[in-house]
Amino acid sequence: MNKILKVNTRTNDIRMISCSEEELYWGGRSFIAHHFLHNVNPLCDPFGRNNKLIIASGLLGDTPVTTAGRLSLGGKSPLTGGIKESNVGGAAGKRMARLGLKAVLLEDAPDNPQSRILFIKKDHAELIEAPEIKGKGSYETLKILRNRYGDHTGLLCIGPAGEMGLAGACVATTDRSGVQLRVAGRGGMGAVMGSKGIKAVVFDDGGAKASEPFDRKALAKASREVNRILREDPKTENRHNFGTPAVVSVCNALGILPTGNFRSGQFEQADAISGETIADLIDRRGGEARKGLPCVEGCVISCSNVFADPSGKAIVASLQYENIGLLGSNCGIGDVDAIAELNYICNDVGLDTIETGAAIGVAMEAGIINFGDAEGAKGILRQVGEGTPLGRIIGSGVVTTGRVLGVRGIPAVKGQAIPAYDPRALKGIGVTYAMSPMGADHTAGNALETAKSHDPLSREGQIEISFRLQIRAAFLDSAGVCLFIRPVFVKDPSLAARLLNARYGWDWSYRDVRNMAIECLSAEREFNRLAGVSDNHCDVPEFMRTEPLPPNNTVFDLPKEKLDKIWKVQLPEDVF
């Protein structure tokens, strides 16, 4: 996994190069961070010739470590104006890693819209004109690619939203069986991919063989320990049984479930959309409905599901918490079948559900449709695919939607929609939203896990919590493993270094791992500073500092001056 494929999307020149010595130590998110800081003009137009879309394997991408194989997509975001990394499970990551690819760089940009497939196999890569999939939805596109290139490929594609350059566009992929459609949602990476004239990427790892780890035995041993700790963690079983929707009830009880365009933190129909309800429906409906599925092959958590209608026909896979929070409660929609359908349409047109759910909530506040109007919401989402002005507005994300429709108090930080945890009653995540180089992104450091041990309404300690979580997230995103295996590294911080050392023959300590994560964050922050989106200028939305959130009736009240000190916080030595 020491090769980099450079694709000039303007000249069609494709070149395979070897990593530099330094690049060997970067993976996934940290590869993107350092590559951008060193090679990309921070003032570049996100849709221009100087931006890149990077697809990067995590450092553990070619190992059997559970959940490893998540793929990082990154670029300068059309939403935040800063660097963005968005990662995704599914089957493509492992295949890309098996091809020895640390990263694929989509560089430059064609003058005119194009619809091409980047096909990569062992010792060969090419750009293939594919007008026949132009404008097609993600589901159909992936099906066509699967039929054409076979089951043994890893696939990435964008939907019409990405082709149209809408800033809320995501990049889709599938699990090994093609059942699930999973997306790298945040930050508009689908639109950046569209600007490169790339509709899809195919990784065919036929004949390829993953690199031999430095110490296979040590890797296997550390990997077994990861699994053991995970299996012993009580959250694992809960996640396996209920998936991320388990969090609906938790967040509703805490009063942080976005409801009615972030005007309340509790939703009266929360029970109807809870993880328990969904698990029960899946059990009762049967047919194609399933739960406890892996997204990356071999995951010991396996928190994914297939949600089916009453006849047992699959609606969407996997139905997740963020989709429920943003497309459901935030839009006043308490019908889980409708939410699943909205989720399906978002996936198909190729839009991030968080950005889009928030945008629809704002459109509802503007009176375009009423809160709770699921049919209206579906209609708007279908308009995205049709390219109508309203569809394009929604597809451009929550800030554009709010600005164009004249709504004040837009739930976004750094131009990006706030996920399904209102920071007014979970203050640690507010610190992350405001200060993370990623903008409002729960995966950058989600304080929900601390809500039991640390009062989420208190101002105390939240900055330390966010800093620690951000460091941990930067490591996990750079290793290419799922955030859900974090309990392993909390329990045994040394395991992170042991895994990397076994894979690469390094001599790292826990301290080195943490430094790597901090350097990743620093590179991202420096890029953002040069791009003019320094965290000094970012904060939670003003209305969240002045309008109390029911039922706790609290505001986000950590002073900005205090937030700005986050990077100087002294953390304990031995805690991940």
Nearest approach, Cβ of 537 to its own copies (angstroms)?
3
Query: Is 472:517 a contact under the CB 8 Å cutoff?
Result: yes
- Contacts of residue 454, defined as CB under 8 A and 6 or more positions apart, other chains included, come to 428, 461, 462, 465
- Contacts of residue 50, defined as CB under 8 A and 6 or more positions apart, other chains included, come to 40, 41, 44
Tokens for 397, please give them. 């994300």
DSSP state of 484: G
Nearest approach, Cβ of 391 to its own copies (angstroms)?
9
Nearest 10 degrees: Cα torsion 14, 20, 25, 29: -30
Nearest approach, Cβ of 390 to its own copies (angstroms)?
4
> Which residues of the chain form contacts with its own copies (CB under 8 A)?
42-45, 47-50, 78, 109, 164-167, 195, 388-390, 392-393, 396, 400, 403-406, 408-409, 530-534, 536-539, 541-543, 546, 560
> What's the chain's length in residues?
576
Whose Cβ is closer to its own copies: residue 78's or residue 428's? 78
Whose Cβ is closer to its own copies: residue 247's or residue 549's? 549
Chain centroid, CA 431 distance in Å: 19
Nearest approach, Cβ of 87 to its own copies (angstroms)?
25
Whose Cβ is closer to its own copies: residue 109's or residue 420's? 109
Give the C-alpha separation, 105 to 119, whole Å. 13
Picking from 165, 154, 160, 73, the residue whose alpha carbon sits closest to that of residue 110 is: 165
Whose Cβ is closer to its own copies: residue 61's or residue 160's? 160
Give the C-alpha separation, 33 to 438, whole Å. 11
Whose Cβ is closer to its own copies: residue 405's or residue 420's? 405
Nearest approach, Cβ of 424 to its own copies (angstroms)?
16
Nearest approach, Cβ of 163 to its own copies (angstroms)?
8
Whose Cβ is closer to its own copies: residue 288's or residue 526's? 526
Q: What single string gives the DSSP state of each residue in 80-132? A: TSSEEEEEE-SSHHHHHHHTTEEEEEEES--SS---EEEEEETTEEEEEE-GG
Neighbours of 112 (CB within 10 A): 6
Give the C-alpha separation, 408 to 535, whole Å. 22
Give the C-alpha separation, 98 to 145, whole Å. 20
Whose Cβ is closer to its own copies: residue 463's or residue 473's? 463
Whose Cβ is closer to its own copies: residue 43's or residue 571's? 43
Nearest approach, Cβ of 207 to its own copies (angstroms)?
39
Whose Cβ is closer to its own copies: residue 144's or residue 405's? 405
Nearest approach, Cβ of 312 to its own copies (angstroms)?
38
Nearest approach, Cβ of 404 to its own copies (angstroms)?
5
Query: Is 468:493 a contact under the CB 8 Å cutoff?
Result: no
CA atoms within 13 A on the CB side of 413: 28
